[in-house]
Amino acid sequence: MTDPNFVIGRLVIQEKLHPMITWSFRNSGLSVDEYKRYRSRVAGYVDRLKKAARQKDYTVHETSIALPGDRRIIRDVDRLVDRLRAPAPLLVVVGIGGSNLGAQAVYEALRGPSAVVMGASNVGELLFADTVDRFKFSHIENEIAIARRQKRRVILNIISKSGSTTETIMNAELLVKKAGPFQPEDVVVTTDEHSPLWELAKKSEYHVLAIPKIVGGRYSVFTAVGLFPLAIAHLDVAAMLSGARWAVRQCLGSLHSSPAVKSASVLYHHATHGRAINDNFFFRTDLESLGKWYRQLMGESIGKEGNGMMPTVSIGSTDLHSMGQLYLGGPQDKVTTFIAVWGQDDNMRLPKKTALGSLVGGVIDGRSTDEVLQAILKGTQAAYARKKHPFMQATFSELNEFNFGAFMQWKMIEMMFLGKLLGVNAFDQPNVEEYKTVTRRLLANY
Ligand code: PA5
């Protein structure tokens, strides 16, 4: 009773879904029969997703799957990018949650930290203003001042679907007042068509980019929300979209080999069998923001009506030295997704004979950082397997736009399947709205 497309304990199957990404479900702790049961429960939904992937009319929530193939979106973004990208500007993204996490994840992994302006850079750079924090704000104000001294163009990209998120509106207002003036041609507003912010932007002669109304914040990275800032930073958004389209084919092409059906089944199984924590363990420090993007995707999509999983983000090997004991010896309430990047040239290698190597028994002599990190990951996984802690693994052979697009699309489709299995609406966020309304009421009555 083996399914060649899935993995059970005795079979060592590593799926090659693309030369650039490899996934393994070998230690997922799910039997073939259990998997088949879950697969049959989402079979009908696959047809709905396939149909949604072909539609570009944005009438059902799932049509976010069609975004990477929607030429109108990329055309509108391109048109504006052509006008604003040269000379390499500093663009401040003012947005929070689904309105900034996707772009920040891609930018920080492919360009480096988003907290400082590199200055000498001849490509556009991004800063992100999300929460209202005077320390962070002063830092951004400072970076803008440096960019202005360097005679760089500074652009504000105010992103808000609703157009009424307190933090975003306050940051936008503060930036205009304290780091301005901004000419109307240096302000880009990305919002739902005809939202109050849209109307105000039009009146102020700002540039406007539309978000399809049906596409929620956490599913919007392939709209202007993610594409515009990333394109300003000279990231290859076309490659990102092509990675996303590839993932759609992988996830919806065949039910038997769909990675999204598999990962959703694994997560669902464990969530309903006492392991409601999904730890996403990234063995690359620059993927922490990707972890935060996924955390929002999972948290807001399925955390409702008493259901859900708690998504956590760990960084290897750093967090092994703070959380490893808990993960291995604590409560058996987690299912882990390891994410690693191996394969690129690693020239950070120690010489064959080192001065300090003998302190660790000579095992690091002649080794590269990747080799050592890989050994740590393998050691960790061996310990997890011994304790029967379930885990999956994704390996990127390279961090690039294509793979990012593929990974993000995969995870968004996974979340739709997971919502289906749990019987919750994966597209709304009623309780986020709740706190927003109360916040506004409290502020009004201060
Ligand atoms: O995913 C979501 O819907 C939320 O996290 C929103 O993205 C976040 O609250 C920001 O909302 P808005 O884009 O309306 O400013």
162 within ligand 1 shell (Cβ under 6 A): yes
Q: How many CB atoms lie within 10 A of CB 372?
A: 18
325 alpha carbon – ligand 1 mean position (Å): 35
Q: Residue 428's pLDDT is what?
A: 87
134 alpha carbon – ligand 1 mean position (Å): 21
Kindly list the domain boundaries of the chain, sorted by start residue.
15-49+240-422, 70-235
The tens-digit pLDDT sequence of the chain (446 residues) is 333 333 332 223 344 445 578 888 999 999 999 999 999 999 999 999 999 998 878 889 999 999 999 999 999 999 999 999 878 899 999 999 999 999 999 999 999 877 666 665 678 899 999 999 999 999 999 999 999 998 899 999 999 999 999 999 999 999 999 998 999 999 999 999 999 999 999 999 999 999 999 999 999 999 999 999 999 999 999 999 999 999 999 999 988 889 999 999 999 999 999 999 999 999 999 999 999 999 999 999 999 988 899 999 999 999 999 999 999 999 999 999 999 998 766 778 888 888 888 888 888 888 889 899 999 999 999 999 999 999 999 998 889 999 999 999 999 999 999 999 999 999 988 887 787 888 888 888 87
102 within ligand 1 shell (Cβ under 6 A): no
Cβ pair 80, 228 in contact under 8 A: yes
Domain at 15-49+240-422, CATH from 1.10.1740.10, 3.40.50.10490, 3.40.640.10, 3.30.930.10:
3.40.50.10490
Q: Provide φ and ψ at 381, rounded to 5°.
A: -65, -35
Cβ pair 251, 245 in contact under 8 A: no
Q: Residue 5's pLDDT is what?
A: 37
Same fold, 15-49+240-422 and 70-235: yes
Q: Residue 251's pLDDT is what?
A: 93
Q: Which own/partner contact pairs does 324-331 have at CB distance under 8 Å and 24+ positions apart?
A: 324/380, 327/279, 327/384, 327/389, 328/383, 328/384, 328/387, 328/389
Residue in this structure with the two tokens 């029969």, named with its chain if needed: 33
Mutate to test the pocket of ligand 1, among 162, 197, 297, 438 (most ligand atoms within 8 A of CB): 162
Ligand 1, atom nearest to 165 Cα: 15
217 within ligand 1 shell (Cβ under 6 A): yes
Ligand 1, atom nearest to 168 Cα: 15
Active site residues: 300, 321, 436
Rounded CA-CA distance 99/158 in Å is 9
Question: Does domain 70-235 sit in CATH 3.40.50.10490?
Answer: yes
Q: How many CB atoms lie within 10 A of CB 277?
A: 16
300 within ligand 1 shell (Cβ under 6 A): yes
For 286, how many CA atoms within 13 A lie in the half-sphere containing its CB? 14
96 within ligand 1 shell (Cβ under 6 A): yes
Rounded CA-CA distance 174/177 in Å is 5
Closest-CA residue to 190 (of 175, 166, 170, 172): 172
